[in-house]
Structure 1
Amino acid sequence: MRMTPGACALLLGAPLMAAVPAHAQDAALLDEIIVTGVRTDTAIHAIRPEGLAAAAPDSAGLVARLPGAALIDNGGLSGQVQYRGLFGERVLTRVNSQRFHSGGPNAMDPPLHYAPMPLVASVEVDRGISPVRNGPALAGGVNARLKEVGFGEGAAFAPAYDLTAGYRSVDDSRSFGGVAGMASERFRVNLLGARETGGDMRFPGGVVRDSGFRRDTWGLSAGWRGAHDELGLDLRAQETGPTGTPPFALDILYFDTDFARLSFASPAESTVRLEASLGHVRVEHGMDNFSLRPAPAMASMRRLSLADAETVVGEARLVFGSPTRSLSVGADFEQADKSVVITHPDNPDFVVGSLPGIEVSRLGGHLEWRGAVRGVEAELGVRADAHRASAGEAWTGSAVPAGPTLLAAAFNAGDRDWGGGTADLAARFWRDLGDFTPRLTLARKTRAPNAVERFSWMPTEASGGLADGNIYVGDRTLRPETAWIVEGGFDWLRGAAWARPTIYYRRVDDYIQGVPFDATPGVADTRLEMVAAMSGDPTPLRFANVDAALYGFDMDFGLQVTDRLRLDGVASLVRGKRRDVSDDLYRIAPPTLRLAATWDETDWSVGAEVAGTLRQTHVSAGNDETPSGGHALVNLRGEWRPRSGLQLEAGVENLFDRDYRAHLAGRNRVADSDVALGERLPGAGRGAFVTLKAALR
C-alpha cells in the first residue's frame, strides 16, 4: 500500500477496505490514520509518520494524535475531539460517512462512541475545514471508517477476515472484534462484531471510581458491483452496558443503538457519476446517579433520565468529470426527533420533560468545482442550508416543586419554533512543486445551535459534553455561528526529511458559549436562578452568542535518520479569545508536543514516544476556569510480525507512572473515590498493553 506524507499511520498495512469513493480527497487536504491490517512491506521506502498504537478503547484518543487535535476525556467511551480549539458539533464527525445525532443531552455518546477500536479500519480528517459537500460545520471533518471485506478479483468467492484481540492492564480491559466474510469481483458480504469490557482506571494516587465500561457491537456489511454501478448495505447494532462517567452527574445505564445505511455509487472512471445514500439511526438511552456510583445521601435526589434520538439522513450528488477535474452538484437532508425525560426511580409522580418533543431538520444543497488554474490546484465550493427546529410542550409531574413547574409554563407560553438559513463558502488552493506544496484556505463556515443550546428551559448540567459541573440553560433567540477562516501552510519532503506546518485564524461571529445568566451572578433574583440554587449551583450559565477568535499553529514532521531509524513529531498551539470582552475562550487545549523514535527491522520494530503539554494559563475568567499544569509522558511500543497476516503488539503507557491532570479533563462527580469531588480527573497511570492482529485477504 502506498503511503504519502499526508497519511499518518499508527499501524501501516493493507486494510480490508472497499473501493475508494469517486470523491476522494487530495492528500494535501487530508490526514489519514490507518489502524488495521498487517504490514506487508518491511523496508522503509517513503516517509511514513506513525505514532504509538492507541491501547485505550476510545477512538477519539486516536484522532487526538493529529496536528491541531486534542482529546476531551469524558470517560472510557465518551471522549470528544477538539480540533484547533473547536469541539462538539462544530467538528463534523461521521462514522462510515454517516451523520447522526447523539442520544443524550450531555453527549455521553459522541459520534466516535460508535467506532469501537477493534472495528476501526481508518480515520480520515479534513485538514482545516470540511468540504462543503459533507455539510455545514465550523472545523475540519472526521470520518471513522469501519472494517469491511472489499470486493475480490475473481468470479469465485474467497474468504477474508481481520481480527483483533487486546488487553490493557491499567483498567484490566479486554477487547476482541473484527470482520469475517467472503467476496468475489461482483459480491461481498461480511459479519462484524466486537466486545469490550474494562474496570476502574488506576492512576498513581489510587483508582478512579466508577470508570469501568462495557460495549458490544455486531452487524452485517454487503455489496454488489456491476459494470456501471455499485450498491452497499450496512446494518449495525450497538449496546453500551453499564458504564461509569465520573465527570458527569449521571452514569450510562445503556445505549441501545441501531444503524442502517444504503449507498449507491457509479464507477470512479465514469465521466458522469451519481453518488447517493440513505441512512437511519435510532438511539435509546438511560442514565442514573445511583446504580454504579454511591447513591445521593438524600433519597429524593436520585435521578433516572431517559432519552432517545432518531435521525434520518440522505444525500445525492452528480459528479461530472474525473476525480481531480470535476464539477459536483448535490443535495442532502437531515431530520432528527429527540426527547429527554428526568424521573425519580421510586416516585412516578416526579417527572420532568426537560427536552420535550424536539424536532430538528436541515435541507441543503451544494456546488463544488475541483480543477486547476495555471498549475494551481483548487477546490471551490458553496452550499446553502435551510434549518428548522421546534420543541413540544414541557411538562412536570405532581411531585415536582413549584419552581420547575412555573418555568415549564413560561417555556410553553413562548415561541418554540425557529427557522433560518446558513451559507458556507470554501476555497482551497495548493500547488505541487515537487518537494514543496504550498497551501492556502479561505472559507466562511456556519453551525446552527443544537437543541440543548436552544431549548433547555430547565437549568440542569446538560451541556452537550462540557462535563464541567456547571448548570446551563438554553436561549431560544440564539443565532447560528459564522466563522471566517484563513489558513496557510506547506507540505515539504526532501530526501529523508519532511514537514507540514500550518498557521490559521478563525474569526467567529455569534460563537455560542455559557455566560452568567444575568448581570448579578450569585444573586438569586429570578425564578430560574432559584431553581438552579436548589440543584446546588446558584450561578447558572446561559448559552449565548459572543464574538470570538481562534488562531494558532500546528505541524507534523519527521526524519529518516537511517534505513531503520525514523523520528516523527507533532506540535500544536491554539489560542482562543473573546472579541466582545477581554477574556479567553473556555476550555482550549494547551500547547502540545509529541516526539517519537522508531527502529524498524524486517519482522519487528520498537519505538519510544515523549508526549508533553505546557501549562495552560490562558483560561476564561468569566467561566471561572482554573489553570492547569504541564506534564510529559514516556510511552514504549514494539511489534513482531512472525509471518504475513499475523502481528503482535505490546507496550507500556506512562512508563514513569506520572500523576497528571489534562487541562481538558472533566471534574470528578463521584463520591468515595481516590479523586476528590470537583477535582480534575487524572490521566491513566503506568500500564502495559498487548494486542494480537490476524488478517486474511
Structure 2
Amino acid sequence: MRHLPFAPLPLTILVSLVAMPTYAQQNTLIVEAHRGLPGETLLTPQASPAPAADAAEWLRRVNGVEAIRMGGHGLDPVIRGQQGNALNILVDGGYVFGGCPNRMDPPTAYAPLHSFDRVTVSKGVTTLQYGAGGSGGTVLFERNAPDFTRNRSPQGNVGATYDDNGERAGMYAHLVAGNPQGYVRVFGERQEASDYEDGSGQRIHSGFETTSGGLTLGMTPQEGTEIALGIESVRERDVKFAGAGMDSPKSDNETVRLRLDHAFSDTLRMEHRLQYTTIDHEMDNYSLRTPPTMPNGMPMQRRSPTESDTFTLKSMLEQQQGDSDLRVGINVLQNERDADIINDANDILLFNSWPEVMTRQSGVFAELDHYLNDSITVSGGVRVDYAQASTNAAYKTSDAGNIAANFYRSAYGVEGDLDHDSVLVGGFLRGELQLNPSKTLYASLSRAERDADATERYFAKGDWVGNPTLDAEAHHQVDIGVIHQQENARWEASAYADRVNDYIYRDSAIVAGMNRGNPVTLYRHIDATLYGVELSGEWRWAKVWETRGQLSWVRGDNLDDGGALADIAPLRGQLAQFYQRDDWEVGLTARFSDNQDRLGQGEVATSGYVVVDAEASWQWNDVTLRAGAKNLLDKTYRDFLNRNRSAGDPFLAGEMSGQALPLNEPGRSLWLGVDYAF
C-alpha cells in the first residue's frame, strides 16, 4: 500500500479548501443557511448550537438523520435506515474510508466540523455526480472559495466549547488571508473528553482525544478560476468504545487534495477534484481496558493494526443552454485496505482479517435539469460504473495457521478465483411543480446499485466471514413530497418507499468446523423494503416566538424470512419553543422517541423516552456566546441504534465481554460555547 493506485490520469483536478465568511447569528433552532432541492438541507456549522463530539453527532439535528453510537466519538450516520456505503459522504470533495471493519471511524470521524463553510444533506437519490450508490442519501462537507472582492482580509473565526459531562473541552481556529489573485487558509481543531455519565451516574466507557489541522494554498488568477492545493491531518488518541470489543489507542489520517475550477463563459464551466487519503488505525483490547483471561489465567491480549488508502477523482463539465442545465462527467473511486489480528502476548499473527483488499469503481454520468416554464422543472440522469474487487492475501497463512480462503470455503463453499467485477447502473427522474408562490410539489423515481464493501465481501476471522460471491444491491425508490413556505411559517411533508433486490443481509449461523460450534457472522442476499415518512415545520408568531417541530418514521422489512431489518430507528422527533428578541435567543426542546421492539439480527429492545434540552445565545458585535443544558432532567435513556450489546467474541472482548451493555446516552450535560468571527 501507500502508493498512488493509478497510472497518470488527467491532471485537471481538485483540492478544496476555502474561505471563511463572517458569520452572523442564525435565529433558527436548526441552523439552515438555505434550501436547495426538495429534500435537501444546507447547514452552517459555525452557527451550531450545542457542541458535538463529531460531525455525525451534529448531523442528528437534521430530521430523518440518525447515528449509531459505540462510544463518545465516531458515531456512524444512518439515513432512511441505511448506513455505510449506502450513503455517499464526501469530505471537501473526496471520500474517506475508515480503518475499522466494525466502523469505529466512519468518514464523519475525519471531518473537523468547524473547518467547513456548509454541510449539505440530501436524502435518497437527488444527483449522480458523486459516484455509484448513495441510495440512502448524500452528505457533503464543503469549503467555499474566498471572495476578497467583497470581503476583507484576513477573515476567519476562533472559538471554544466546554461540556461538564465528561469534561469535554474543544477549541478551534481558522484564518483565511489573501487578495483577488490568491489566498492561504489554515485551520485547526482539538477536542478532549473523559468518560461521560448517563442519567443514573453510571460511567460509560467513552473518552477520546482528537486533533486536526490543515493548510491550503489557492490561486484565483482570473474571475471564475480557482486552483487550490491542500493538506490535512487528523490525529485520534485513546478513543474508547463501550459498544465494541476493542478500543482505538491511535488513528492517523493524512489527506492531500487538488482542485481546479474554471468558467469558460457564463454558461460553460468545469470542475475537477483529486484526493488521496491514508488512514493508519490501531485497535486493541488491553491499552484502555482490562483484557479477558484464558483458562490458565493468562491475559488474552489482542491487537489489530489496519490501513485504508482512498483515491477519489471527479471531473465534470456543466453547460447551461436555453432552459436546460446539463452536467456530464467521470468518477473514479479506489480503496485499498489491509488488517491483521495479532496475539500480543506472544506476537503471533492470528488472522489476516482484511487480506489486502482492493475495491474500485470507475463511472460516467450525465444529468439534465429542464425548466418547462416558471413553475415546472423536470430533472433526470443516468450513470454507469464498472466495479471491481480483489484480495491479494486470501491464501496467505497466518502464524496460527489460518487462511482467509479457507474461511470463505467453509462458510460459502467458495474456491479458486475470489476476484469480483460487475456493472452498476443508476438513474433518476424527478419533477417539481410550483402550485403557487408558497407551495411546491415534488416526486422522483430512482435506481441505485451498491456493491459490497471490503468487510461484507472479504473480512475473515473465526467468527466473522465476508462473502466473496455477493452481488450488488439494487434499490428502486419513489419519493413524493410537498413544501409550503410563507413569510412566517414553513412546513414540509415527504414519503418514500424503496424496494431492494439482493439486499446484503448480515446474519449468523452455525458453520461446521468454525468458531468452536458457536454462531458465525455471515452475509447473504434477501429482498427487502424500506419505507417511511418525514414531517417538519417552523412557525414564527407574535414577532418574537418561534415554534419548530420534526417527526420521522421508517420501517424495514425482510421479505424473504419475514421480520425486521437491523438498525431501523423507531418513530422519533422533537418539538421546540424559542423566544427571539434582538441579539438574544432562549428556548426549550423536547426530543422524543417511541419504543422499538421490532428487532433485527442480534438487537436489543429499547423503551421510548422524552428528553428536554435548554439553550440560550447572545450576540455582541462579532462575538457569540452560547450556553445550555442537554438532558436537563438527567433522564437515563438510550437510542435504539446504539450498540447496546458488545461483541461476544472472547478473542476481542474486554472487561465488558458477553454483557448486553446499556450503552446509554449522556445524562445532564451543562455546556458553554463562545465564537469570535472577524
- Tell me whether the two structures share a fold, i.e. TM-score over 0.5: yes
Give yes or no for the alignment of 1:589 onto 2:535: no
Structure 2 distance, partners of 1:624, 1:191, is 45
User: How far apart in 2 are the matches of 1:634 and 1:76?
Assistant: 20
When the two structures are superposed, what TM-score results if normalisation uses the length of structure 2?
0.89
Aligned-partner residue type, residue 384 of structure 1:
V
The letter for the 1-side match of 2:36 is D
Distance 1:103 1:323 in 2: 47
- Work out whether residues 58 and 116 of structure 1, in 8 Å CA contact, stay in contact via their aligned partners in 2: yes
- Select 1:141's aligned residue among 132, 138, 142: 138
Q: 2: CA distance between counterparts of 1:509 and 1:412?
A: 22
Bigger drift between 682-691 and 388-397 goes to 388-397
The 5-angstrom pairing of residues 70-469 of structure 1 reads 70-137=66-133, 138-145=135-142, 150-153=146-149, 158-225=153-220, 226-267=222-263, 270-298=266-294, 299=298, 301-321=300-320, 325-374=324-373, 375-394=375-394, 400=400, 407=407, 413-432=415-434, 433-460=436-463
Contact 1:9 1:32 in 2 (8 A): no
Task: Note the C-alpha offset of 1:581.
Answer: 2.2
8 Å Cα contact 2:67/2:641 also seen in 1:
yes
1:371 & 1:555 partners in 2: Cα distance?
Answer: 28
User: Is contact 1:395–1:408 with CA below 8 Å preserved after alignment?
Assistant: no
Quote the residue 2:579 is aligned against. Answer: 599
SS at structure 2 position matched to 1:109: coil
Contact 1:435 1:492 (C-alpha < 8 Å) held by counterparts: yes
The answer to whether 1:665 aligns with 2:660 is: no
Q: Which amino acid aligns with 2:423?
A: G
Shift of 1:328: 1.2
What's the counterpart of residue 45 of structure 1?
none
Query: How many angstroms apart in 1 are the aligned matches of 2:85 and 2:322?
Result: 29
| Structure 1 residue 322 displacement after superposition | 6.4
Q: Quick one: distance in 2 between partners of 1:128 and 1:398?
A: 42
SS in 2 for 1:182: strand
1:507-566 Cα distance to aligned partner (Å, 9 max, x none): 01111111233xxx4xxx612243xx5xxxx12231111110011100210111121110
Cα distance in 2 for partners of 1:324, 1:240 equals 49
Deviation at 1:458, TM superposition (A): 1.9
Distance (whole Å) between structure 2 residues aligned to residue 502 and residue 36 of structure 1: 28
CA distance in 2, matches of 1:276, 1:478: 33
- The size of the alignment, in residue pairs, is 640
- Match of 1:480? 472
Whether 1:693 aligns to 2:642 is: no
1:149–1:181 CA contact under 8 A, matched in 2: no
Query: What CA distance in whole angstroms lies between the structure 1 residues aligned with 2:215 and 2:602?
Result: 48
- Bigger Cα displacement from structure 2, 232-241 vs 374-383: 374-383
**AA at the equivalent of 1:438:** L
Residue 513 (structure 2) pairs with residue 527 (structure 1) = yes
Deviation at 1:96, TM superposition (A): 1.2
Secondary structure, aligned partner of 2:611? strand
Q: How far apart, in 2, do the equivalents of 1:10 and 1:187 lie? A: 34
Q: Which residue of 2 aligns with 1:18?
A: none
Alpha-carbon spacing, 1:232–1:627, altered in 2? closer, same or farther (3 Å): same
Unmatched 5+ residue regions in structure 2?
Answer: 1-20, 647-652
Q: Secondary structure, in 3 states, of the residue corresponding to 1:301?
A: coil
Please point out which of 483, 495, 511 is paired with 1:503.
495
CA contact 2:629–2:669 (8 Å) conserved in 1: yes
**Could you report, residue by residue, the CA deviation over 1:292-349 in whole angstroms, capped at 9, with x for unpaired residues?**
0112223452111010011111111111116983111111111221100111223223
Indicate if the aligned counterparts of 2:270 and 2:316 stay in contact, CA closer than 8 A.
yes
The range that moved more, 99-108 or 195-204, is 99-108
Q: 1:690 to 1:666 in 2, by over 3 A?
A: same
Q: Please state whether the residue corresponding to 2:637 is helix, strand or coil.
A: coil
3-state SS of 1:170 partner: coil
Match in the other structure for 2:4:
none
Distance 1:344 1:102 in 2: 23
AA in 2 matched with 1:245: F
Contact 2:128 2:427 in 1 (8 A): yes
Deviations 1:596-629 (A, max 9, x none): 1111111211011000000112223xx2433211
**For 1:638, which of 607, 616, 634 is the aligned residue?**
616
Aligned partner of 2:599 among 619, 623, 628: 619
Deviation at 1:194, TM superposition (A): 0.9
Quick one: distance in 1 between partners of 2:182 and 2:403?
61
CA distance in 1, matches of 2:145, 2:675: 16
C-alpha spacing 1:671/1:228, structure 2 compared with 1 (3 Å): closer
SS at structure 1 position matched to 2:71:
coil
What letter is aligned with 2:514? L
1:136-180: CA deviation from partner (whole Å, max 9, x where unpaired): 12111011235x7723117x9721121120000111010011211
Q: 1:395 and 1:286, CA in 2 relative to 1: closer, same or farther beyond 3 A?
A: farther
Question: Is residue 239–residue 247 contact of structure 2 (8 Å, CA) maintained in 1?
Answer: yes
Shift of 1:63: 1.6
SS in 1 for 2:78: strand
Contact 2:246/2:654, CA 8 A, preserved across alignment: no
Amino acid at match of 1:681: L
Taking the TM superposition and a 5 Å limit, the aligned residue runs for 1:676-691 are: 677-691=659-673
Once the two structures are TM-superposed, the CA of residue 679 in structure 1 deviates from its matched residue by 2.1
How many Å apart are 1:26 and its aligned residue? 3.3
How many Å apart are 1:662 and its aligned residue? Answer: 1.0
Aligned match of 2:553: 573
Q: Tell me the equivalent position of 1:653.
A: 630
Q: Is the Cα contact below 8 Å between 2:408 and 2:465 reproduced in 1?
A: no
How many percent of aligned residue pairs carry the same amino acid?
23
Gaps of 5+ in 1: 14-23, 38-51, 461-471
Sort the Cα spacing of 1:322 and 1:389 in 2 relative to 1 into closer, same or farther, 3 A. Answer: same
Q: Distance in 2 between matches of 1:83 and 1:130?
A: 14
Residue 46 of structure 1 is matched in structure 2 by none
Alignment partner for residue 556 of structure 1, among 525, 536, 540?
536
Distance, in Å, in 2 between the alignment partners of 1:351 and 1:243 is 24
- Measure the CA separation in 1 of the matches of 2:323 and 2:49: 33
Q: AA paired with 2:512? A: T
Tell me how far apart the structure 2 counterparts of residues 422 and 404 of structure 1 sit (CA, whole Å). Answer: 27
CA distance in 2, matches of 1:324, 1:634: 49
Alignment partners' CA distance in 2, 1:88 and 1:324: 37
Residues 405 and 444 (structure 1), Cα distance of their counterparts in 2 relative to 1, 3 Å cut: closer
RMSD over aligned CA atoms reads 2.7
> Which amino acid in structure 2 is aligned with residue 662 of structure 1?
D
Separation (CA, whole Å) in 2 of partners of 1:605 and 1:325: 43
**Residues 34-61 of structure 1, C-alpha deviations (whole Å, 9 max, x = no match):** 1215xxxxxxxxxxxxxx8232212212
Note the C-alpha offset of 1:579: 1.3
Describe the superposition over 1:234-263 as per-residue Cα deviations: whole angstroms up to 9, x where unpaired.
210111111101111110111111111111
Compute the displacement of 1:677 (Å): 2.6
Amino acid at match of 1:652: A
Report the TM-score, using the length of structure 1 for normalisation.
0.87
Q: Distance in 1 between the 2:462 and 2:505 partners?
A: 15
